[in-house]
Each structure stands twice: as structure tokens, then as C-alpha cells.
Amino acid sequence: MTRPRLGVCYYPEHWPVSLWREDARRMKEAGLDIVRLGEFAWSRLEPKEGEYDFAWLARAIEVLHGEGLDIVLGTPTATPPRWLVAKMPDMLAVDRNGRVRKFGSRRHYCFSHEGYARESDRIVTALAEHFGRLPAVVAWQTDNEFGCHDTVESYSAAARAAFSLWCRRKYETIDALNRAWGNVFWSMELSGFDDIDLPDLTVTEANPSHLLDFQRFSSDQVVAFNRRQAEILRRLSPGRAILHNFMGSFTAFDHHKVGDDLDAAAWDSYPLGFLERSRNSEEFKLRYMRVGDPDYQAFHHDLYRGCGRGRFWVMEQQPGAVNWAPWNPAPAAGAVRLWTHEAFAAGAEVVSYFRWRQAPFAQEQMHEGLLLPDSQPAPALDEAARVARELETLGPVTASRADVALVFDYESVWAWDIEPQGEDFSYFELVFAFYRGLRRAGLSIDVVPASAEAIANRAFVLAPGLFRADPALVGALRRSGAAVLLGPRSGSKTADFQIPPRLPPDRFRELVDVTVTRVESLRPGASVPVEKARGRCCAGEKNSSLRRA
């Protein structure tokens, strides 16, 4: 049970010191009481190698806390400074065309570069030692939006070496790897782990087992990078919540696994920022242009509540037009208030707006905040203040376990990206279509990983399109007594990305009466006829059945 709190993201390094106190006063006046700081400030925290300058941040914390605001500190590792890149140029990530991803924006590091990981340890340690026990500091955010700008996978020399090691640990012998991948197929057999290339720039598609392992590896590198920070922070800043701000719809790494090392999950909610690029119809987009897809936020609240094992924040809440979509409409009047209340209703502990004042410079100068660049109020300020007043009249948030669990499995995203049923097939869309249906039926839903623990004690478990029939999961489902709904392609592959010897749906046969049925088009208004998406039995079993225990 926690009291819902409103917060805001603030960048004291962007503004004259003379503005800080007045900003803090106005935040408090608007009903905000938590402020995120520091996640992009490395070049100010360490202007030259080893020369820390923490005084300005200490001063900012003092001013904000003096007005009654609590602080969330971000680790600045999403923005390694120029001098660090000059020191170790091979820390830069490499894209799938072999091009180095240059300094000049953010997230330019390769997760597999041990030198950079040590730099990350160093700056996080220094910050945690300096600020970790301040009463003002109530939480930490690790890095910022892992995976943003397609940065999970890197094709650098560091990534190649780390992937080889990862394979060695997983398979122990190269023969085991050759068998698991089926490398005999096109004489792709390897003589040793040093032979392993990254699966980019192959003449035609790489082996799907190779691709899936590379994605698992890439995800594991993110998990490991985050864990190193979390362990330092937990040791040096005890009692503070450790979070990471995930981005919705990003699926290149396993958010559940990163969440396992956090105290609570957080996500950045931009209801208008991704609608234009979604697969929805033009009509749908026009209808929801200024309020957002009504199920999209709900889905992610339910997902990240699961990632945080019941605890989640909205670390960045859209307060006005954003700057990155093809067109960026202003939210409808009242939309910001609606989104905020919706997050709390889903169990959010904190909703924090991004950002306090619109920056007049650099990449996001067209991203609105609660204030205009000249400090006049933007429309969202009043909406936030109104929510703050309304929260006074509401009780604390209590998380409860839903009867209905909907499984969202990151490995299945990767599997079906590698080998979709048809070109327009999307595992995310499949799960989301089930989610929409459940919402329409008025149900409360937990979005959960494909684990025995997560599906225990449910009345109804939906697990559409799981690429493999994990024995533990199947056993738990069988024992659970829950009604189980599977979907197309369930159990089509083994963990190694092979067709299972018992043929799809493999062990799910223990749960369901398999009948091959016609599947409806998952994409509203898609002109591709359903029949096109039909394969035959082991070329993509369609199995959809409801078993009542």
C-alpha cells in the first residue's frame, strides 16, 4: 500500500542556478513531490576523465529537497561523454551493416565492451558513494531506456568475442552447438567456438537457431549491464528503490529478466508518440490521434506491474506534443489528466512528467513540458495540478492479483520475428489482440512471463503463440486448474529452434484437443486474405482450444 505520488523530470544543468528555487517552489505548488535528476549529465558530473564535479548536483538536490521534493537519481551511462569515446573508440556499437555508431546523440555504447562496463561501474560507484545515503534520495534509475534507437544488438568485435564465450558456456562443446543449430544443413558446421560469427551480412538468412541465440545473448548483455549497476547501488545506497525506465513496445531484450534485478519497474508512457507508426488503420489513428490507443497504456501498465512483481512507476509521462513521430499532435484537453489517473488506477506508485520545462536547444527542443521554454505554464501544468488535488481525496494504491493472466514472452517475440507465419505476422500484435478482447469483456488482467510462478492461482490463463512448450510451464498449467487458451503456432519449436520431434504443438497436446482451425486475420483491415497465412501441420500448426479443468 503506497500513496500515489506525482513527479517530474528536471535538468538543473540546462538552466541558470537562479531559476532552481523558483522552479522547485512551483513544482511543489503544482502538487508534485518527486523529481528525477541526472540521467544525461555525465559530461557535467565528470567534465574530464577522473575529475568529478558533483557540487552542482548536490546543490540542486539541496534546493529541491529544501522545498519538500524527493529525488530519483539516474545513472548517466546512456550518454558517455566525448572524452571517454576518444579514450576507447572501440566501445562504440556497430550496426548490422558494419557501420560504427558514432558519438553525437546518445546510447552509442556496445553492451559487450568490458572497458565501458568498468567505466559504468566507476561512475555509478562514485555517484552512489556521494549521494546514496542522502535522505533526499529515495530511488535510483539505472541508465535510460535500454534499447532505445535499436541499440540492443551490436555487431562489434567486442560483441563477437562475448557471443563466442556465451556460446561456449551454453553448449560446452562445439558438437553440441552444431547439433542444436542443425549446422549440418548447409555445411555450416563449426570446428570451434572461435569460428562463431555474428549472424549479420550472411548471403541469405542466417540459421534461425543462430539468430535466436544471438538475440538471447544480446538480451543477456543488457541484463548483465543493468545488474552490475543494481548491485553497486544496492550496496552503496541501501533502502532506495532501484528502477529502470523501460520503453513500451521495445522487445529486443527480456524486460522480465531486467525487472528481476530491480525493486520496481518503470516505463515511459507516450500515448501519442507511437500511434502513427502502429499497424492500426488510418481511421483508427485519426480517431485516437490526440488521446492515444485506449488499450496501449493499459497493456503496458499491466505488463510493467508484472515486470516489477507488483510495483511499477510511470517514470516519464507525456505532457504535451512530442518531437519524434512523423506528425506530433497536441494532446486533447484533459488527456494528460486521464492518462495520469489511468496509471494510478493500474497500480502505479508514481507518475512523473517528462519534463518540467521545454528545452530550447538540441534534439528534443520540440518536446513539450509542463512549462514553455520561457517558463510560462504549458497546458499540462494545470492538468497535473488538478490531478494532485484529486489524489488528496483518494486512498492509497493496493495492488491485487488478477484472475486472468495473459502471457507475454520475449523469446517468442524473437522467434516469430525470425520466422513469422507470414510477412505481416507479429507476436506483439497477436498478444495485444487477445488483450483488447479481454478489456472489451471488462476483465482485469495481469500480463506475465511464461513462468510457472506467474500463472499459479489464476482462473484463466491465455498464452497465445508461445513458440515452445516449456515442460515446466505445461506442467504448471496442467496442475493449475485454470482455463487455458492457446493460439496459433503454440509449441511450434523446441528451445533450440527446431521443429519438435512430436510435432507442434508438442507438449501442449497434454493441455488441448488440437484441431486445426482457420485463424482470423490479426491485423484489422488487412487486405491479405487469411488463407494466405495458412501453412499445413508442422509448417505452423494452428491450434486454438479452450480447456476447462
428-444: burial string, b at 16+ Cβ within 10 Å, e else: bebbbbbbbebbeeeee
Quick one: which of 238, 395, 396, 536 contacts a second copy (CB under 8 A)? 536
Quick one: which of 88, 126, 134, 148 contacts a second copy (CB under 8 A)? 148
Could you count the other beta carbons within 10 Å of the beta carbon of residue 17?
11
Phi/psi at 312 (nearest 5 deg)? -150, 155
Contacts of 419 (CB under 8 A, 6+ apart): 208, 497
Q: Which is nearer to a second copy, 200 or 390 (CB)?
A: 200
Cell output for 543: 491450434
Q: Which is nearer to a second copy, 328 or 545 (CB)?
A: 328
Residues 491-520 that bind a second copy (CB under 8 A): 496-503
Q: 546-547 and 483-486 as β-strands: parallel, antiparallel, unpaired? A: antiparallel
Catalytic site includes residue 145: yes
C-alpha dihedral (496, 497, 500, 501), degrees to nearest 10: -70
Residues 151-170 that bind a second copy (CB under 8 A): 151
In whole angstroms, how close is the CB of 113 to a second copy at the nearest point?
A: 15
Q: Strand, helix or coil at 50?
A: coil
Residues 49-78 that bind a second copy (CB under 8 A): 76
Contact window for a second copy (CB under 8 A) among 90-98, 163-171, 461-469, 517-525:
90-98
Phi/psi at 314 (nearest 5 deg)? -100, 110
Quick one: which of 23, 70, 153, 419 contacts a second copy (CB under 8 A)? 419
Residues 205-234 that bind a second copy (CB under 8 A): 205-210
The CA distance from 104 to 88, in Å, is: 16
Contact window for a second copy (CB under 8 A) among 190-198, 224-232, 383-391, 446-454:
190-198
User: Choosing from 46, 67, 316, 419, which is the catalytic residue?
Assistant: 316
- x/- string (CB under 8 A) for a second copy, residues 328-367? xxx---------------------------xxxxxxxxx-
User: Choosing from 46, 145, 368, 411, which is the catalytic residue?
Assistant: 145
Phi/psi at 144 (nearest 5 deg)? -155, 120
Contact window for a second copy (CB under 8 A) among 60-68, 335-343, 443-451, 531-539:
531-539
Q: Which is nearer to a second copy, 210 or 305 (CB)?
A: 210
Residues 274-313 that bind a second copy (CB under 8 A): 282, 286, 289
Could you count the other beta carbons within 10 Å of the beta carbon of residue 409?
24
Contact window for a second copy (CB under 8 A) among 215-223, 261-269, 315-323, 344-352:
315-323
Helix pair 410-418, 427-440: axis angle to 10 deg: 130
Contact window for a second copy (CB under 8 A) among 79-87, 244-252, 465-473, 512-520:
79-87
For residues 476 and 448, is the Cβ–Cβ distance under 8 A?
A: no
Question: Rounded to whole angstroms, what are the CA distances from 98 to 69, 262, 303, 363?
Answer: 46, 33, 34, 25
Q: Which is nearer to a second copy, 163 or 435 (CB)?
A: 163
**Could you say whether residue 488 binds a second copy (CB under 8 A)?**
no
Q: 460-463 and 137-141 as β-strands: parallel, antiparallel, unpaired? A: unpaired
Q: Report the candidate in 2, 3, 35, 5 with the shortest Cα–Cα distance to residue 387.
A: 5
C-alpha dihedral (125, 131, 132, 133), degrees to nearest 10: 140
Contact window for a second copy (CB under 8 A) among 156-164, 184-192, 258-266, 480-488:
184-192
In whole angstroms, how close is the CB of 481 to a second copy at the nearest point?
A: 32
Q: Report the candidate in 480, 447, 473 with the shortest Cα–Cα distance to residue 547.
A: 480
In whole angstroms, how close is the CB of 516 to a second copy at the nearest point?
A: 11
Quick one: which of 1, 515, 527, 548 contacts a second copy (CB under 8 A)? 527
Could you count the other beta carbons within 10 Å of the beta carbon of residue 380?
24
The CA distance from 319 to 56, in Å, is: 27
**Could you say whether residue 104 binds a second copy (CB under 8 A)?**
yes
**Could you say whether residue 525 binds a second copy (CB under 8 A)?**
no
Quick one: which of 17, 19, 201, 394 contacts a second copy (CB under 8 A)? 201
Residues 238-257 that bind a second copy (CB under 8 A): none
Quick one: which of 25, 28, 31, 40 contacts a second copy (CB under 8 A)? 40
In whole angstroms, how close is the CB of 306 to a second copy at the nearest point?
A: 29
Contacts 24+ apart (CB under 8 A), 92-101: 92/156, 93/151, 93/154, 93/156, 94/154, 94/155, 94/156, 94/159, 95/150, 95/155, 96/153, 96/155, 96/200, 96/201, 97/200, 97/201, 98/155, 98/200, 98/201, 101/151
The CA distance from 111 to 159, in Å, is: 8
Q: Which is nearer to a second copy, 289 or 456 (CB)?
A: 289
Cα–Cα–Cα angle for 534, 537, 541, nearest 5°?
70
How many residues touch a second copy under the rule CB under 8 A: the total is 107
**Could you say whether residue 31 binds a second copy (CB under 8 A)?**
no
- x/- string (CB under 8 A) for a second copy, residues 441-480? ----------------------------------------
Contact window for a second copy (CB under 8 A) among 245-253, 316-324, 427-435, 480-488:
316-324
In whole angstroms, how close is the CB of 329 to a second copy at the nearest point?
A: 6
Residues 367-386 that bind a second copy (CB under 8 A): 368, 372-374, 378-379
Quick one: which of 345, 538, 546, 549 contacts a second copy (CB under 8 A)? 538
**Could you say whether residue 17 binds a second copy (CB under 8 A)?**
no
| Catalytic residue set | 145, 316
